[in-house]
Structure 1
Amino acid sequence: MSCPTTPDEWRAIAEEFSRRWNMPHAVGALDGKHVACKSPKNSGSQYYNYKGFFSIVLMGLVDAEYKFTWVDVGADGSASDAQIFNFSELKETIENGTIGFPRAEPLPNDDKDMPFFILGDDAFALRTYMMKPFSHRNKTVEERIFKYRISRGRRIAENAFGILANRFQVLLTTVQQDPETIRLIVQTCVCLHNLMRIRYPCLQNAVLDQEDDNHQVINGAWRNGLNMQDVDNVTGPNRATRAAKSQRENLKHYFNSSAGSVPWQDNMI
């Protein structure tokens, strides 16, 4: 697993997101999943998450082809996704500019520069490099379409975790090893997952979410049975920046314009 470090590498991922998922300028989908473990000795509630079991967290950034480009493995189960990301090397390198994201450039068929960004959910703070749906109730039609488009791209991360867990079913159990050993097991599974996606990209695609001819989602097999412990994200005091709010508004208008809309989106809300 090698995290991209140059604008060309990130742009290649963004082009694949645009081609396959109609999500231009997205360089990855970010999500976190809990791997259940036994209670480590003398750890108290350190690994105990709010869903009621002990776990370590796998947080991953996933490209448009279900491969992991970056992971953080082994955070205590009591930590939230936002806490893990806020203290991660990924966030640090994004904010100091060393990760190599491309410079802002216009979206297809548009003339306004738009930064490249990660797709996240409400657990993360809205930033120019992190786009997520509107969280308030009573959304407008435009806001619901924006949510659909963002969620469609972000579903890639959920499916990548589904493939991973169904391929390496130790992740479906309560792992009995100590946390450091579990970290090595999970890291190994992720690397082997990437290798399999490169060499046999169609293998296990049957477990993925699919879209019918009308783009309605057909749940993948991984959702119907046991899977890695899904944890509802807890929202926190993640304050959005003014620039990020403006960017989200521009992206919302783009998705609702002739330049950026897709023919079926009105039927999805």
Structure 2
Amino acid sequence: MIRFWAVVNKELLCYAQCIMQFEEDEEKQRKKRRWWGRDWLLRRSIHGQYDALMAELQLEDPEAFVNFLRLDIATFHELLASVEDRLTKNRTRWRDPVSPGLKLAVTLRFLATGDSHHSLMYNVRLAHNTISGMIVSVCNAILDVMEAEVMKTPIEPQDWLQVAERFQGRWQFPPVLGALGGKHIAIQKPSNSGSTYYNYEGFCSIVLIGLVDADYNSDGFRLVMLGLASTAKYGTTVPSTNQYNREPLSFDIPYYIIADDAFAMQSWLMKLFPHRALAHDELVFNYRLSRARRVVENAFGILANRFRCLLRTLQVQVDTASLIVRTCVVLHNYLRERNPSNDVMTLDKEDANHNLYDPIVLTLIFIP
């Protein structure tokens, strides 16, 4: 018995020596870091955009500050105060941590422009890998603090009735509980994904599906979903959930959601008549439905115009892309709730004869 344990201990000692030798060899082969921090990056407090340019914009040109970060100075500081505790890191004897304000500013600038991490690196003087992790942490902080507050999906029947009344009052189309639409968000092809994210338009994407209220100046997106784009039409992703098929639809009057031809027909969904040999009443119905459904197209347009990263191909992993899109929607609702009049000039308008026109160029669009 003693000999047995002696043999076991000898083998364990041999295994331990092999592991230690392997770790020593691996440590020798590991590439040594050439710089603890590049000198020009460490001068960010003097020449970086956050400490230099943004300070000038706050003092001299508030309008340019809004264009730079897509929100005004007061809103930026309010948003910073709400997420600051989640972004603050402890100071160590090795280096000072990146300030929460810089983290938030870099993330907002990325959402506003969609610039690559390497491009942002030369503007804010932070390493690209630091920016990559920073964007994820800031987006998570914003979602944790604000998502439940600004994504106000009605629950009670009375809340849904108020939505239907606004559609009736503004667009003369009863009884509608929301306009449903989708937008492809381009992403780089994930490795080993095959055709999972490949859509019918010829690029890889995830699909943002949104349910929008009738009033531009209220709550923006009531409900959003993110799904794959592997099917021929993104509308086929909706029946896989019960998000829309809820019992508030079962009133005495058949309430429904309006959508376009991209979505599969459902008992709770109203779509256009096919565009062939339509009677006059059917043409009028199609016009009214398209007129009411226009709000979701405008909502996606305002969202993408404000956060232009949604107009570019996101060079990130799929999970990170979904996180970025959710953050854009939450910030969109937050800004619409705080400053509802900011986007008035980007909305469709009608004259006294119900003809559409662009409020910027005042060009009439005739509708028969």
TM-score by length of structure 1 reads 0.73
The aligned counterpart of 2:173 is: 23
Q: 1:30 Cα deviation (Å)?
A: 0.3
Tell me if structure 1 keeps the 8 A contact 2:356–2:367: no
Q: Note the residue ranges of structure 2 that are not aligned, 5 or more in a row.
A: 1-150, 361-365
Tell me if structure 2 keeps the 8 A contact 1:30–1:157: yes
The aligned counterpart of 2:211 is: 61
Decide which of 203, 211, 234 is 1:81's aligned counterpart: 234
Q: 1:42 Cα deviation (Å)?
A: 1.1
More helix by share: 2
Matched, 1:188 2:338: no
Instruction: Provide the C-alpha distance between the structure 1 equivalents of 2:342 and 2:241, rounded to a whole number of angstroms.
Output: 32
| Residues 42-61 of structure 1 aligned to structure 2 (within 5 Å) | 42-61=192-211
Decide which of 70, 76, 82 is 2:223's aligned counterpart: 70
Provide the secondary structure at the position in 2 that maps to 1:71. strand
Provide the secondary structure at the position in 2 that maps to 1:52. coil
Instruction: Provide the C-alpha distance between the structure 1 equivalents of 2:266 and 2:201, rounded to a whole number of angstroms.
Output: 28
The aligned counterpart of 1:13 is: 163
Provide the secondary structure at the position in 1 that maps to 2:249. coil
Q: 1:102 Cα deviation (Å)?
A: 5.9
The aligned counterpart of 1:213 is: 352
The aligned counterpart of 2:81 is: none
Task: Please tell me the residue identity of whatever aligns with 2:309.
Answer: V
TM-score by length of structure 2 reads 0.54
The aligned counterpart of 1:101 is: 249
Q: Note the residue ranges of structure 1 that are not aligned, 5 or more in a row.
A: 105-113, 222-266
Q: 1:129 Cα deviation (Å)?
A: 1.9
Figure out how many residues of one structure are paired with residues of the other and give that number.
Answer: 209
Q: 1:153 Cα deviation (Å)?
A: 0.5
Instruction: Provide the C-alpha distance between the structure 2 equivalents of 1:126 and 1:39, rounded to a whole number of angstroms.
Output: 30
- Between the aligned residues of both structures, percent identity stands at 45
Instruction: Provide the C-alpha distance between the structure 2 equivalents of 1:197 and 1:102, rounded to a whole number of angstroms.
Output: 30
Instruction: Provide the C-alpha distance between the structure 1 equivalents of 2:174 and 2:350, rounded to a whole number of angstroms.
Output: 19
Q: 1:204 Cα deviation (Å)?
A: 1.6
Q: 1:131 Cα deviation (Å)?
A: 1.0
C-alpha root-mean-square deviation of aligned residues, in Å? 1.8
Instruction: Provide the C-alpha distance between the structure 1 equivalents of 2:276 and 2:308, rounded to a whole number of angstroms.
Output: 38
The aligned counterpart of 1:178 is: 317
Tell me if structure 2 keeps the 8 A contact 1:11–1:102: no
Q: 1:211 Cα deviation (Å)?
A: 1.7
Please list the CA deviations of residues 164-205 of structure 1 after superposition, one character each: whole Å capped at 9, or x if unmatched: 001111111111111111111111111111111111111122
Q: 1:124 Cα deviation (Å)?
A: 2.8
Tell me if structure 1 keeps the 8 A contact 2:249–2:268: no
Please list the CA deviations of residues 131-174 of structure 1 after superposition, one character each: whole Å capped at 9, or x if unmatched: 11111401111100000000000011000000100111111111
More strand by share: 1
Q: Which has the greater radius of gyration?
A: 2
The aligned counterpart of 2:342 is: 203
